[in-house]
Structure 1
Amino acid sequence: MRNVEVSEDEELGELEDKTEILTLRSKRTERARKKQAKRVKRPSCNSPDLLSLPYELVLDILALLRPSDVFNLQRVNRTFHQFIVQEEHRISRAITSWRYVCLSKCFRLPVLMDDIDPSFHAVIQIPERQKSVIIHKNPYQHIQSPNPAEICTCLTCLLRWTALCVIVDFAHWQRNLDNGEPIPMIQRGKHPTWNQSLVESNVAVVRKALRSPLWHARLLEAHLDSTVRSISRHAANKGNKRRRFRMSKEDVESGSDLFLEKSGPPSFDFPFHRDNYYMLEAYLPNRGWSAENNRWMYVPAEQHDIDFQFIVNWVKRQQKTASGQGN
């Protein structure tokens, strides 16, 4: 028999490659897979957002918001926070110019002592003059007297301070008034801790408004809400036939105070006690109706300058009189 040589391949047959990728199953690989999936879904940092729009357009958009909305937007991230802080004056002015046309003239800010020439500080704060305005500085149960080292104590600024404090306190009790729940009364001479805390909290908000136009606009927003709720409550009282402001559903939905520019009852009486809140419909100080012009006339912003000059002249007369008596 002839010897036949058989190759090794023929002896073993044709080789097949049956190797497969092993499935890795471990906690480490599972964590890596999840991180990769998140990276795929995460939007690019270069994706367009509000602040990528032209500057003027961004301001126009923010001007349509309420002040409370702007504060919420400010908390979104650091970029929004920095932009709003930088443009606070423009944003606040734009919002106020169409939402709070009336209220911005009724509730002007008192002038800070920091904004008054230091050479006049002693003139404003002399004890004799402070005694002459003591009736306006006596603390009420719901309003704290201002710090004469912080704001000007001319008559105009004292009234402005009081009006701003009323905004915050009146807004605090709106839920009680809506639900018909009585506001806690305080006995004369008593100073409960809860009321002291509330008054101090109110003052803290007013002090923010003294230095931040956005906080000032936020106070105007709060008072418009209080006024709308108050008018609605009185309108629902069919037994109350008093004259009131005409307010439609569209007026409420507009988020603007323009309906308060219409003819209505005078509403500048100061609520010196929380009892006054029950019948208070629209507290709008520093204005009066002119029958001749058929419109509301507002106390001008320059009234502070007039009162300030009155103080200077008064001090000069006092010094002249004292000098004459000395001679």
Structure 2
Amino acid sequence: MRKGDISEDEELGVLEDKTEALTLRSKRTERTRKKQAKKTKKTKSQPLDILSLPYELVLGIFSWLRPSDVFNLQRVNKAFYGFIAQAERRITRVITRWRYVCLEKCFRLPILLQQVGPSIHALLQDPDRQEILTIHKKPYQHVQSPDPAEICTCLTCLLRWSSLCLIVDFAHWQENLDIGEPIPMIPRGKHPEWNQALLASNAAIVRKALHSPLWHARLLETHLDSITRSIRRQAANKGNKRKRFRMLKEDVDSGSDLFLERSGPPSLDFPFHRDNYYMLEAYLPNRSWNADQRRWMYVPADQHNTDIQFIVKWAEFRRRKAAAELEDVAKSSS
């Protein structure tokens, strides 16, 4: 193109865009940039925690923990607390499945009254029936009586309540038993304030177990510890020649109650007084030894339903008997 000629772009009026983004150099912008870079670096370098693993793998890890360990994990942070609260039932099931195979069947939970049909409530609260159960509701010095408005008062549930309360009380006095310090004895008919507070505290723990599977498992862990300590004490007592469960160091280290499935002395009798704690080794109710099959036989889990059916039949029998007596009175008066 010769000098003075007009280019084609100029002729068409097309302009070339040479604008560029301005470089921001303010102090405020620089601080913001550094803060964002630091935050990004911290996020990338932060290690992943156990809850970032697949759900089934987390459950597998939790299955090796004791219930007390799970309670400690709940206190770590909100994430652990939320996860455990949401998966409590499943976590407890996998732990109990191998740690407390025996104890779970010996110490089942009493049924809450709200879980019993409303039509049965009146039968359970019948004064005549309550009179029959007086021997089982008689307050012990070491077990608080159950609230009939809270749990079912069939015979099975009453015995389950007392057994769970005994776990807590027996564990409370383990230190005394280990060091040979006598347990304070309470004169008959006396109700010292310290003992009433202890019974209330024990019952409060059992009530937590009624609503929380993890608390129930914690009671089983506590009782297994009491049993192992008791067996050690009795083994060290050279004057005690009674038969006891064979417990090895490996059994204690495993944290499992499988050694209680071996043959051993029957220990289903309820300790009616704290005096019984001195020679008590393994209180394991609701089971008996089958010599023919060479194994322990446990009271079935649905024994509560059997008791309820018995109560219904008992109420029907009394109703028919009362109706027959009224009919006989009516015939004799006529």
The CA deviation at 1:40 is 11
Letter in 2 for 1:135: I
Which residue of structure 2 lines up, in the alignment, with residue 148 of structure 1?
148
Listed one character per residue, the Cα deviations across residues 183-209 of structure 1 (whole Å, up to 9, x for unaligned) are 000011111110000000000000000
Aligned counterparts, 1:70-149, within 5 A: 70-149=70-149
Listed one character per residue, the Cα deviations across residues 29-61 of structure 1 (whole Å, up to 9, x for unaligned) are xxxxxx9xx989977685310000000000111
Q: Per the alignment, do residues 62 and 316 of structure 1 end up closer, same or farther by CA in structure 2, a change over 3 Å counting?
A: same
**Range with bigger deviation, 44-53 or 244-253:** 44-53
TM-score normalised by the chain length of structure 1 = 0.86
Separation in 2 of the partners of 1:274 and 1:230? Answer: 14
1:166 aligns with 2:174: no
Aligned counterparts, 1:228-307, within 5 A: 228-307=228-307
Match of 1:102, SS? helix
Write out the 4+ residue segments of structure 1 that deviate beyond 4 Å after TM superposition.
38-46
Match of 1:196, SS? helix
Which residue of structure 1 lines up, in the alignment, with residue 221 of structure 2?
221
Letter in 1 for 2:251: D
Separation in 1 of the partners of 2:219 and 2:41? Answer: 42
Listed one character per residue, the Cα deviations across residues 43-98 of structure 1 (whole Å, up to 9, x for unaligned) are 76853100000000001111110000000001111111111011010000110000
Listed one character per residue, the Cα deviations across residues 264-297 of structure 1 (whole Å, up to 9, x for unaligned) are 0001111000000000010000000000110000
1:187 aligns with 2:187: yes
Letter in 1 for 2:92: S
Match of 2:92, SS? helix
Letter in 2 for 1:271: P
Listed one character per residue, the Cα deviations across residues 90-147 of structure 1 (whole Å, up to 9, x for unaligned) are 0001100000000000000011111111121111111111111110001100101111
The CA deviation at 1:324 is 1.7
The CA deviation at 1:172 is 0.3
Listed one character per residue, the Cα deviations across residues 135-163 of structure 1 (whole Å, up to 9, x for unaligned) are 00011001011111111111111111110
Which residue of structure 1 lines up, in the alignment, with residue 207 of structure 2?
207
TM-score normalised by the chain length of structure 2 = 0.85
1:178 aligns with 2:178: yes
Aligned counterparts, 1:53-64, within 5 A: 53-64=53-64
Segments of structure 1 that go 5 or more residues without pairing to the other structure are 1-34
Q: CA RMSD in A?
A: 1.7
Separation in 2 of the partners of 1:191 and 1:70? Answer: 37
Separation in 1 of the partners of 2:249 and 2:288? Answer: 26
Segments of structure 2 that go 5 or more residues without pairing to the other structure are 1-34, 328-334
Separation in 2 of the partners of 1:205 and 1:197? Answer: 13
Letter in 2 for 1:74: Q
Separation in 2 of the partners of 1:261 and 1:49? Answer: 38
Listed one character per residue, the Cα deviations across residues 227-250 of structure 1 (whole Å, up to 9, x for unaligned) are 000000000111211100000000
Separation in 2 of the partners of 1:164 and 1:79? Answer: 31
Match of 2:200, SS? helix
**Range with bigger deviation, 157-166 or 41-50:** 41-50
Q: Per the alignment, do residues 40 and 187 of structure 1 end up closer, same or farther by CA in structure 2, a change over 3 Å counting?
A: farther
Q: Per the alignment, do residues 319 and 176 of structure 1 end up closer, same or farther by CA in structure 2, a change over 3 Å counting?
A: same
Separation in 2 of the partners of 1:45 and 1:80? Answer: 21
Separation in 2 of the partners of 1:266 and 1:74? Answer: 38
Separation in 1 of the partners of 2:79 and 2:119? Answer: 41
**Count of residue pairs the alignment pairs up:** 291
Letter in 2 for 1:149: A
Separation in 1 of the partners of 2:42 and 2:184? Answer: 53
